[in-house]
Amino acid sequence: MDIHGKKALVFGGTSGIGLATTQQLSARGATVVAMGRDASKATELPEGVAFAACDVRDEAAVQALFAEHGPFDILVSAATGGERAIGPFAEMDMAGYRGSFDKLWGYANVVRHGLAHLSETGCIVLVSGSPARRCGPGQVALSSVGGAVEALSRAVAKEISPRRINVMSPGLIDTPMVPLQGDARTELYTRLTGNNLIPRAGTPDECAKGILFLIENDFVTGTTLDVDGGILLSS
């Protein structure tokens, strides 16, 4: 796919990996609409990128947004959906575990209702995470949701061909989701990535480049692309 001149919708497109994707799509000449729950974050969007407020968990709002902004060629969702439960499963509040699946329900809303407006040569990219296939202690909810996202993509790929759907799976990425600053932030990422084959946190730009690869390569569908510093192979 030649991105120039295409129309792209990016859910979660105002922060972190989604923002970096929005910026790179715009730089490649796409017409981009970035969606997010918080309009205050839209100040970082590139010139010419439109913003639309939307909570992916609100199915009616998602449908209305597609009706307003369709048709389009590229659909990306990096929206987290809400809070994610962390900690040992045996001690986990089950409401928190169920709530973690808001990410999956949000993706399901986006894919289900976006397909009606996606061009016949269009593509979809979702974002999972390395815990889907390498679950550390306290990451049961993250692993469950990420695994479900990847399974959803593979299953849907068979139904929508020749249109394509793929997943980009990041490792530990330095994004605004981590509130720590200064030395405390540096120490956290150093500790958590010390055993990675590439011993540092990734950047949103590196993940966005993975998403753009999945968009541009017409021979890739139903695939999960790891942009994780080798965390799946770490000891």
Residue bearing the bigger pLDDT, 190 or 209: 209
Phi, psi of 117 (to 5 degrees): -120, 0
Choice among 3-17, 179-193, 204-218 with the minimum mean pLDDT: 179-193
Nearest to 208 by CA among 1, 14, 17: 17
Say what the pLDDT of residue 193 is: 87
Say what the pLDDT of residue 175 is: 82
What number is the average pLDDT over the span 87-106? 94
CA distance 177 to 188: 13
Say what the pLDDT of residue 234 is: 87
Choice among 26-40, 179-193, 211-225 with the minimum mean pLDDT: 179-193
Angle at 50 between CA 160 and CA 71, to 5 degrees: 30
- The full set of domains in the chain, from first to last, is 7-172+203-233 (3.40.50.720)
Say what the pLDDT of residue 179 is: 73
Q: What is the largest CA-CA distance in the chain?
A: 51
Query: Which two structure tokens, joined as six digits, stand for 136?
Result: 């550390």
What number is the average pLDDT over the span 101-109? 96
pLDDT tens digits for range 106-132 = 999 999 999 999 999 999 999 999 999
What number is the average pLDDT over the span 32-60? 94
Query: Which two structure tokens, joined as six digits, stand for 27?
Result: 């730089």
pLDDT tens digits for range 137-188 = 999 999 999 999 999 999 999 999 999 999 999 999 988 777 778 888 888 8
Query: Across all residues in the chain, what is the average pLDDT?
Result: 94
Q: Say if CB 230 and CB 196 are below 8 A apart.
A: yes
